[in-house]
Amino acid sequence: MKSPFNKSQKIVLAIIIFGILARLIPHPPNFSPVTAIALFSGLNFKNKKFAFLIPILILFISDLFIGISLINLFVYSGFLLIVQLGSKISSIRFLNIILASLIFFIISNFGVWIIGYPKTIDGLILCYTMAIPFFGYSLAGDLFFGYLFKFSFAKIESYYMNAEI
């Protein structure tokens, strides 16, 4: 029986399912593929509406299980900016991944400060200071998954280019 999905759709569906599962299985805090997926989507999908939808869909579906709160507005905003960054770069590189990690760190922790810390400079500094250990996990996950996507996509693309159609 012929699949109702074409090859590109299968890859996108696999990315979405992988992203959802990776957020739901036990993992270190913030060690997830969503930043890499957002960067990858912005870089590789010509349909930019679709590129922006992929990480938001992953977040929303997994957040139905994890929980939805006010911080999600900041988290989703951060990932939308990362998709935008992805649409402006020519490839996934070390500095691009670092920049994406910083974007997420700054925006998501600004939200944490707004929601749960005193609205003072000291509160802001405390919030970002307390978030540093989480940034280490984010950075490690972003680098791991960023390069995983970069090299996996190259392999998959090479396979499909050489496969009989």
pLDDT per residue over 146-157, tens digit each?
Answer: 999 888 887 877
- Asked if 103 and 85 count as a contact pair (C-beta separation under 8 A), the reply is yes
Q: Which residues 6+ apart lie within 8 Å of 109 measured at CB?
A: 127, 128, 131
User: What pLDDT band is residue 1 in, cutting at 50, 70 and 90?
Assistant: low
The pTM score is 0.89
In one-letter notation, the amino acid at residue 98 is I
- The 10s digit of each residue's pLDDT in 8-61 is 777 778 888 999 999 999 999 999 999 999 999 999 888 899 899 999 999 999
- The 10s digit of each residue's pLDDT in 80-104 is 999 999 999 999 999 999 999 999 9
- Asked if 31 and 138 count as a contact pair (C-beta separation under 8 A), the reply is yes
User: What pLDDT band is residue 165 in, cutting at 50, 70 and 90?
Assistant: very low
Alpha-carbon torsion (17, 133, 142, 52), positive or negative: positive
- Per-domain residue ranges of the chain: 7-162
What gap in Å lies between CA 63 and CA 119, rounded to an integer? 27
- Asked if 149 and 36 count as a contact pair (C-beta separation under 8 A), the reply is yes
pLDDT at 162: 61
SS3 string, 79-107, reads: HHHHHHHHHHCCCCCHHHHHHHHHHHHHH
pLDDT at 164: 45
